[in-house]
Structures are given as C-alpha cells and as structure tokens.
Amino acid sequence: MNNSTEDINTKPSAFERMSTAIINFSATSAMFGIAMFLIVLWLVTGPIFGYSNTWLLIVNTGTSIITFLMVFLIQRSQNKESIAVQLKLNELIAANNSASNRLLNIQDLSEGELNTLYEHYRKLVELTQQAPSNTQSHSVEEAITVNEELDAAKKLEGDTADNE
C-alpha cells in the first residue's frame, strides 16, 4: 500500500477525536443550557457567599480558562474546515476543463499576490460585462481579445456607414 492511501486511512488521534467532540458539543443547545444553568447557579450562590471576592473569582477564573482553551479548539476546527473547503474547490477547478488551474492552492499566496489576482479578476468582470455574452471568455487575455475584436468590428461598421 502506498503512503498516500495509508495517510488517508489513518485513524484520528485521541486528541483529534476529543477536540472534535468538544467543538461539536459546544455548539449545541444542551451546552448553552448547561452554561446558562451554571451562571444562574453562580448568581444564586452570591448571597450565600456574601458576594465575596472569592465568589467573583470563581466565575472569572472559570470563564477565562474555558475561553483560553476554546480559542485553540475553535482555531484548530476552522483550520481543518478551511483546508477541507480548499481541497473541495481545488477538485472542482481541476475537474472543470474551462477553469484556470492557476487558482489551485491560491491560499498559499501572499496578501499582495492575492490583491493582484483580485485586480486581474475585477478587470475580467469589467471586460466580460462589455462583451455580448457574459459567458464568452474565460481569462482576461481572452476578454481583451474579444473586446478588441468587437471594437474593430464596430469601427469597421461605422466606417462602412460613413462611406454609404
């Protein structure tokens, strides 16, 4: 068996299974209910502890620890989701004959390179909107050529109309 197949069939680590379970559970109504119950419980115990500094410290410490840990779990989950979406998009681009393969792994470009590419596609939209059909071109180069041909044809028609 080759390495790529082994990598795909590898079972997730205990940490990955645990973090996935925590992230999935933290987004449920049950978890929201538990959090609300704990806050109400904390509020109810206020008079019992005389609203002391220790009473305040309990909720502050608890929420700080949970928030600190959840930031890392949420970031890990978002990174995993982002990679999955990128792979799905890469598959769609690779499977479409008229799509530009230069967009594969675009997430690895610098911010400046992404801005340049954004301007490239903004220009494509402008040129495509000028074309008779919005589906006529697939690249900026093709859109420029089509628009130049249309301009030449219009000029030729104008010259022909002037000569008549």
Q: Is the pLDDT of residue 1 over 50?
A: no
Tell me the residue length of the chain: 164
pLDDT at 93: 83
When pLDDT is averaged across residues 46-67 and rounded to a whole number, the result is: 94
pLDDT band at 81 (very low <50, low <70, confident <90, very high): very high
Answer whether residue 117 shows pLDDT above 90.
no
Residues 123-132: pLDDT tens digits? 877 877 776 6
Q: How far apart are CA 57 and CA 52, in angstroms?
A: 9
| The dihedral sign for the CA sequence 79, 84, 89, 90 | positive
**Structural tokens at position 86:** 């990128």
Is pLDDT at 162 greater than 50 in this prediction? yes
Q: What is the pTM of this model?
A: 0.59
Q: How confident is the model at residue 69 (pLDDT cuts 50, 70, 90)?
A: very high
